[in-house]
Amino acid sequence: MRNWLVLLCPCVFAAALHLWLRLRSPSPARAPGAGPADQLVALFPQWKPHHYDVVVGVLSARNNHELRNVIRNTWLKHLIQHPALSQRVLVKFIIGAHGCEVPVEDREDPYSCKLLNITNPVLNQEIEAFSLSEDTSSGLSEDQVVSVSFRVLYPIVITSLGVFYDASDVGFRRNITVRLYQAEQEEALFSARFSPPSCGVQVNKLWYKPVEQFILPESFEGTIVWESQDHQGLVSRNLHKVTVNDGGGVLRVIAAGEGALPHEFMDGVEGVAGGFIYTIQGSRWSTCISHLK
């Protein structure tokens, strides 16, 4: 390798020196006011600058060779062959410096490079998504609107929505609404309203109420919002002070800064002011396990 570099360096130096001398030597054909850029174009006609009305950048992953070829053989081919459009429109593929070694079918979602890691999912059982440790105090906060976002990595069904309760209260004395939104949707998929006469069922440190059941498919992204209808704040905790029961990897909480866009129709702070109960749709998973066996 060093021998090649020793041979190559004089050649590069000679080419640079030749180019420098050509640029400094007077040229009778040069137009008045022509600069070094014009001289480079004279030496290398293929470097002639070109003005385009539209420049299109196509973002593409490094391993998407077939998809890029489809573009090249369809509308891009037509554009290049068109006498007028080819002079006005420039198309360039924008490809990342590093690829992803995880196959698309093994990723958490098609647009990330995180390995899908589902191990021993708990089937046919109700799972509490969030729980507090026994020594965690349950005091009120000043936050009247609290929300948390999550992604579904395997189909689930949410059966109940819940709120934390104040341990100092006897019974339930609050008015709180809990809503589930799908990402980028203004209307809630379903909601639950908690009030003193209709507070639901107490389980551990939460009050739960049943909701209309929908299958949330794989790659579903949602946001749960707790909103206090009283002048008091919610009983809430930040994400680091609650235990997330992900059912073996089928559920992932999305914290701020992980690339997820916040729900544009909600206010409040990131945190957890309750939870939800869900079940894992196990028929397809059982079929996959049987097939592997």
Q: What is the pLDDT of residue 233?
A: 87
What's the rounded Cα separation, in Å, for the pair 191 and 222?
Answer: 13
Nearest by Cα to 115 from 124, 126, 104, 123: 104
Task: Say if residues 76 and 68 touch (Cβ distance below 8 Å).
Answer: no
In this prediction, residues 266-288 reach a mean pLDDT of 78
Helical H segments across the chain, by residue range: 2-24, 36-43, 65-73, 75-81, 85-88, 283-292
For residue 263, pLDDT beyond 70: no
Q: What is the pLDDT of residue 11?
A: 47
Single pTM value for the model: 0.67
Parallel, antiparallel or unpaired: strands 269-270 and 145-152: parallel
**Which has more pLDDT, 116 or 40?**
116
146-171 per-position pLDDT tens digit: 999 999 999 999 999 999 987 666 67
Instruction: Count CA atoms closer than 13 A to 150's CA, side-chain side.
Output: 30
List of E strands, the chain: 54-60, 89-95, 127-128, 130-131, 145-152, 156-164, 176-182, 188-194, 201-203, 206-210, 215-216, 221-228, 243-244, 251-254, 269-270, 274-280
Residue keyed to tokens 């958490």: 108
**Which has more pLDDT, 122 or 19?**
122
Amino acid letter, residue 203? V
Q: Copy the structure tokens of residue 40.
A: 């480079």
Q: How confident is the model at residue 217 (pLDDT cuts 50, 70, 90)?
A: very high
Residue keyed to tokens 């000679």: 14
Parallel, antiparallel or unpaired: strands 89-95 and 54-60: parallel
List the end-to-end C-alpha distance of the chain, in Å, as a whole number. 52
CA dihedral 124, 128, 130, 135 (to 10 degrees): -130
CA dihedral 81, 86, 87, 92 (to 10 degrees): -140
Q: What is the pLDDT of residue 216?
A: 95
Q: What is the pLDDT of residue 32?
A: 54
Q: How confident is the model at residue 140 (pLDDT cuts 50, 70, 90)?
A: low
User: What is the number of residues in the chain?
Assistant: 293
CA dihedral 266, 268, 271, 273 (to 10 degrees): -90
For residue 186, pLDDT beyond 90: no
What's the rounded Cα separation, in Å, for the pair 225 and 234?
Answer: 11
CA distances from 138 to 76, 113, 188 (A): 61, 38, 28
User: For the chain, which domains are there?
Assistant: 36-99 (no CATH), 127-289 (2.60.120.820)
Enumerate the β-bridge partners of residue 198.
195
Neighbours of 107 (CB within 10 A): 16
Q: What is the pLDDT of residue 55?
A: 94
User: Is residue 191 helix, strand or coil?
Assistant: strand
Task: Say if residues 202 and 138 touch (Cβ distance below 8 Å).
Answer: no
In this prediction, residues 33-58 reach a mean pLDDT of 69
Low-confidence winner among 105-114, 182-191, 270-279 (lowest mean pLDDT): 105-114
Task: Say if residues 180 and 223 touch (Cβ distance below 8 Å).
Answer: yes
Task: Say if residues 179 and 274 touch (Cβ distance below 8 Å).
Answer: no
